[in-house]
Structure formats: C-alpha cells, structure tokens
C-alpha cells in the first residue's frame, strides 16, 4: 500500500478532513477518508481515598449524556500532552495536580483517524474550581474503582477511552 495523494476537503475546529488516494498492491487506486487530529490528553483522577473522578456531559454525536474520564484536545501540535492533561483536569473537574504519571497511549479509530490520546493518572489532587468553556456543562461524579468497573460491565459506561483507562489503571493495582 502506498499513499499517492492527500487532498484537504475541509478544515474543522477539532479535526481536518482529507481524501487520500492509495495505490493497492495490484496497482489499483482507491479513495479513503482521513481525519487529522492534533491529539488529546485524558486523566484518571485518583482521590486520596482511592475513589476516581468522572465527568458527566452531553455528547452530541451519540445524543446522550456520558460518564467519562476528563479529557480534551491539545491546543496545538506543539502543546505537551502532560500540559494539556493538567489543563483539562482542572477545567473539567475543578481539581489540579502536579503528580501525573503516564498510564497508556490510545489510538482511537485507526481505520480513518490519527487521533492519539495520552492518558495519565493524577494523584495528590488539590481542589480549585472548574473553568468550563462557554459551551460546556459538566458535572463531576466520584466513584470507587469497583463501582466504575460495574458501570462498564453493565454498559452504563461505553466511552472507549474511559474503559481503556480505567481497566488499565485497575491492572496497575494488582
């Protein structure tokens, strides 16, 4: 497989849409959509007593509220993932931490998108206040790890980054 062309179709706020032309091993040319994403950071916030903080917010793509770990896109390609993680943690939860540990790297939709999410564990949380964007309405919820794992098993949590992050975090405790 060889990419022979990439054409920008539309530049968006979160991603850019391209149409790629690929040459197959047999010489045929095919078109593929490609979403370019700047990357994102996510955080598993761990309270002193071991409970985890999740955020509840409306997600237009699936037309419902979700429970997720705090996360958000980098402001630029040059922004450090850990810096973005610290920013998103405080913006969405109203907690800050200088004690972040890298947990996992996620590739969210490899068939059509290059999005990369770096996930961190945040400990030694300090209460501040939420700094939500104008279009964000986020509630925080605090659960034990067992409660979150039960919500995953019961399909109450379906967000892939949250499932991957929480289960990876649980494995670090064994």
72-116 tens-digit pLDDT? 999 999 999 999 999 999 999 999 999 999 999 999 999 999 999
Q: Which residues pair with 87 in a beta bridge?
A: none
Confidence of residue 164 (pLDDT cuts 50, 70, 90): very high
**pLDDT tens digits for range 114-141:** 999 999 999 999 999 988 878 888 999 9
User: Positive or negative CA dihedral for 30, 31, 37, 38?
Assistant: positive
Residue that is written with structure tokens 């419902």 in the block? 64
Indicate the CATH number for domain 38-172: 3.90.79.10
Dihedral angle of Cα 43, 46, 47, 53, to the nearest 10 degrees: 50
% of residues, the chain, pLDDT over 70:
100
pLDDT at 38 > cutoff 90: yes
CB neighbours of 148 closer than 8 A, spacing ≥ 6?
Answer: 52, 54, 157, 166
Q: What end-to-end distance do the CA atoms of the chain give, in Å?
A: 42
Flag whether pLDDT at 68 surpasses 90: yes
**Measured between alpha carbons, how far is 83 from 98 in angstroms, rounded to an integer?**
10
Cite the DSSP H helix spans in 1-97. Answer: 81-93
pLDDT given at position 134:
83
pTM score, whole prediction: 0.91
Does residue 12 register a pLDDT over 90?
no
Cβ neighbours for 102, distance < 8 A, ≥ 6 positions apart: 82, 118, 119, 120
Extents of the domains making up the chain:
2-36, 38-172
pLDDT of residue 92: 94
With a pLDDT cut of 90, the percent of the chain lying above it is: 92
**Which residues touch 58 (CB under 8 Å, ≥6 apart)?**
64, 65, 66, 137
């Amino acid at each position: 497989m060889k990419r022979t062309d990439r054409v920008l179709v539309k530049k968006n706020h979160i991603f850019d849409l391209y149409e790629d032309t690929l040459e197959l091993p047999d010489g045929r040319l095919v078109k593929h959509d490609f979403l370019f994403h700047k990357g994102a950071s996510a955080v598993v916030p761990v309270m002193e007593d071991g409970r985890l903080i999740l955020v509840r917010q409306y997600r237009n793509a699936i037309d419902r509220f979700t429970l997720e770990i705090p996360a958000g896109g980098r402001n630029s390609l040059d922004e450090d993932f850990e810096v973005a993680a610290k920013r998103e943690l405080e913006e969405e939860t109203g907690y800050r931490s200088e004690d972040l540990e890298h947990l996992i790297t996620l590739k969210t939709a490899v068939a059509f998108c290059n999005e990369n999410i770096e996930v961190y564990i945040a400990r030694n949380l300090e209460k501040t206040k939420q700094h939500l964007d104008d279009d964000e309405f986020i509630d925080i919820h605090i659960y034990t790890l067992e409660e979150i794992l039960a919500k995953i098993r019961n399909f109450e949590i379906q967000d892939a980054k949250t499932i991957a992050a929480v289960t990876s975090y649980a494995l670090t405790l064994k």
